[in-house]
Structure 1
Amino acid sequence: MEEIKITRAQTFKEKPDPSTLVFGKAMTDHMFIVDYDVGQGWHDPRIVPYGPLAIDPAAKVLHYAQEIFEGLKAYRTADGSIQLFRPLDNVRRMNDSAARMSLPQIPEDLALAGITELVKLEQEWVPSAKDTSLYIRPFMVGLDAALGVHSSHHCQYIVIVCPVGAYYPEGLDPVKIYVEDQDVRAVKGGTGMAKTGGNYAASLRAGDRAEANGYSQVLWLDGVHRKYIEEVGSMNVMFKIAGKILTPDLNGSVLPGITRRSCIQLLKDWGYEVEERRISAEELFEAAENGTLEEAWGTGTAAVVSPIGELAMGDKKVTVSNNQIGEITQRLYDALTDIQWGRAEDPHDWIMKLC
């Protein structure tokens, strides 16, 4: 791998107060960039001062959304060291997304080095206050400066980072979810399994509608039958029904979440039966009405787990777990965050220690 060139910033930003951190706002002093050109491959890896990108107005990413991204975190442990949680899984998922969006595959060691070397350089930005962390956003964009629907020959892989506060500063409060019956997030054969910006842009209208009606997120249904549950907002979703854990299967339109995978492993470690299959909204509401729906929660990097306290579909409304965080939801949150912040042993070698 080509050596990473580092150009340090001449001036440095004031670091934000850890008690008032807002997600995604306070970017650090540097970023990582590496270029790709057909016939040359990946070249010129560098860490440079954070700043605007010079993008041609005709760049493919601006017109045809040829873009993918990832999200992970760096955690400061009680002894002051810094560690990552399953970073190689993020890199591999990024390459899966790249294949779907006709972007180049990036060597795992190069993609990972862009993350690790930037975090090491910016280690003073990793906060130490309880439940704070450094959010890491790798992304790849197609930059050919030409109109016309074709794959880019020139691309960049970029990593930016920012300190973030606790997702739940006042505790794990259950959220209200509405089953979306107008828009769909994705269809099999589409881009639902890829982490690409277009998926999220297409979800905004439904999210705005839900918020206007007093709901935190939407529960997405499949795009063909409009009856099977896929995701909740921008997270994977799980349900405890009659003692068994159910979650939608990875059918090509559901994002293969890393937190989802981690939760499934822990649940199996604890002896729970986990079933990955199609789950209809009708089945879910029947379980709520007959008392067998015991818990429901979303899973994702930002929140880890997000308990669901109320579900609505049309004129139907049901309460889940007495609108309180369930026992399994709390246990998953505690177990994962304890591993991530180094408060508990890592039984599956998920942690990468940096410095």
Structure 2
Amino acid sequence: MTALAFPRTDAPRRTSDDERARILQNPGFGSSFTDHMAVARWTSESGWGGDGIVPFGPLTLSPASAVLHYAQEVFEGLKAFRHADGSIWSFRPEKNAERLQRSARRLALPELDTESFLASVRELVAADVDWVPDPAGEQSLYLRPFMYASEEFLGVRAALTVDYCVIASPAGSYFPRGVQPLVVWVTDTYARAGAGGTGAAKCGGNYASSLVGKQEAAEHGADEVMFLDSSTHTAIEELSGMNVFAVTDDGRLLTPRLTGSILEGVTRASILRLATDRGLEPVEERLELARVLEDVRAGRIREMFACGTAAVITPIGEFRTKDGTWTVGDGGSGEHTMALRELLTGIQYGRVEDRHGWLTRLV
């Protein structure tokens, strides 16, 4: 198919310069939105069309829309970074496009080709370029592409009409406390996803299933929840929205092997590539919780951290379970953790040479 172009219809009323400046001083995360959004529609008869950049605003959604009843939707998350020269770049956006395609395939949704995905992101950022923050404090413009079954019907089958949108939100730190070591609660009550399910897809149902685990974590004074495999509840999988890594005393960088129930994070894949730049040996394997906690206690695991597009790299300082508490290293931010974070963000913001060709210029 020919890639979509996303022609622009300018918003008749834009956010004032003063109001936008006020928002960008302290954007938080996911609470303010730009003036435009990208849209497109797929139908089983005509394929993709109806593409454009239009004013941001409410969606027209029938109470009988399939997504409300059968949760047929997928989404992505990526960022636009302003460099010191004013140019704006994205980090490996083609990987987000490819993951959206895999997620759509798993949820029986139509796949949007990579060039159309990139065009939707590029044209939205161009329309709302003034919303991309200066890089002070690692601020960025968070982009949320999503696709949902909009057909008006009640019945268990794949929808014949599907809408695609991209919205944008200026973003600061994902966690209110900034880059501080997390306290993580390990739940053996709830699982995020099971074998053969949708764990490897980025769909809302996976995140909905994690919320009760996050509530349980909060009840135990923790910032985040760690989920174990659904069949044995013995192997580490991931947090509610982040992959997990551990740094050992002999220079290995451990992360759970992808099993079909763990999201294949873009940040995760990038860290595995960057590990060798730090002299670390990346290892993907089954991580048994009991062994990890034993190695934490004995000092064989020196550092642990979580990662994702929103949170970037965030250290883990402590684990809590119903059986006790384990402090990782000295409970602070590990040397390798913060060095990897500095390297990754340095590439994203153009402060470090992009030796892997990961950056795509948007504006």
Scaled by the length of structure 2, the TM-score of the pair is 0.95
1:318 counterpart = 2:326: yes
Conserved 8 A contact 2:5-2:120: no
Q: 1:353 maps to which residue?
A: 361
The 5 Å alignment of 1:262-301 reads: 262-301=270-309
1:344 counterpart = 2:352: yes
C-alpha distance in 1, partners of 2:237/2:257?
8
Conserved 8 A contact 1:19-1:165: no
Q: 2:170 maps to which residue?
A: 163
C-alpha distance in 2, partners of 1:320/1:283?
14
Letter of the structure 1 residue corresponding to residue 206 of structure 2: N
After superposition, give the CA deviation of every residue in 1:217-248 in whole Å (9 maximum; x if it has no partner): 11110001110000022100001123211100
C-alpha distance in 1, partners of 2:125/2:178?
28
266-275 vs 322-331, greater mean Cα deviation: 266-275
The 5 Å alignment of 1:226-245 reads: 226-243=233-250, 244-245=252-253
C-alpha distance in 1, partners of 2:263/2:102?
11
Q: 1:148 maps to which residue?
A: 155
Conserved 8 A contact 1:192-1:255: yes
Match of 1:7 among 9, 31, 35: 9
After superposition, give the CA deviation of every residue in 1:108-157 in whole Å (9 maximum; x if it has no partner): 11111011111011101101151111000000001111111110110011
C-alpha distance in 2, partners of 1:289/1:4?
54
Runs of 4+ in 1 over 4 A off after TM superposition: 168-171
Distance 1:196 1:2, change over 3 A: closer
After superposition, give the CA deviation of every residue in 1:301-342 in whole Å (9 maximum; x if it has no partner): 011111000012222211112111001100111001111111
C-alpha distance in 2, partners of 1:291/1:180?
23
Long gaps (5+) in structure 1: none
10-19 vs 48-57, greater mean Cα deviation: 10-19
SS at match of 2:54: strand
Distance 1:170 1:231, change over 3 A: closer
After superposition, give the CA deviation of every residue in 1:23-68 in whole Å (9 maximum; x if it has no partner): 1111111100011001211012111100000011111111110000
C-alpha distance in 1, partners of 2:174/2:87?
22
Scaled by the length of structure 1, the TM-score of the pair is 0.97
Distance 1:185 1:168, change over 3 A: closer
C-alpha distance in 2, partners of 1:79/1:350?
18
Conserved 8 A contact 1:18-1:129: no
C-alpha distance in 2, partners of 1:20/1:112?
28
Distance 1:2 1:291, change over 3 A: closer
After superposition, give the CA deviation of every residue in 1:55-88 in whole Å (9 maximum; x if it has no partner): 1111111111000000000011111111100000
Q: 2:254 maps to which residue?
A: 246
Letter of the structure 1 residue corresponding to residue 71 of structure 2: A
How large is the Cα RMSD of the aligned pairs? Answer: 1.3
168-177 vs 338-347, greater mean Cα deviation: 168-177
C-alpha distance in 1, partners of 2:4/2:211?
40
1:255 counterpart = 2:263: yes
SS at match of 2:104: helix
Alpha-carbon distance, 1:168 to partner: 5.9
C-alpha distance in 2, partners of 1:343/1:3?
31
1:306 counterpart = 2:314: yes
Conserved 8 A contact 2:96-2:266: yes
Letter of the structure 1 residue corresponding to residue 9 of structure 2: T
Q: 2:104 maps to which residue?
A: 98
The 5 Å alignment of 1:58-77 reads: 58-77=64-83
Match of 1:137 among 136, 144, 148: 144
SS at match of 2:116: helix
Alpha-carbon distance, 1:166 to partner: 3.2
Conserved 8 A contact 1:85-1:340: yes
C-alpha distance in 2, partners of 1:195/1:154?
20
Q: 1:206 maps to which residue?
A: 213
Long gaps (5+) in structure 2: none
Distance 1:132 1:213, change over 3 A: same
Q: What is the identity percentage for the equivalent residue pairs of Structure 1 and Structure 2? A: 42
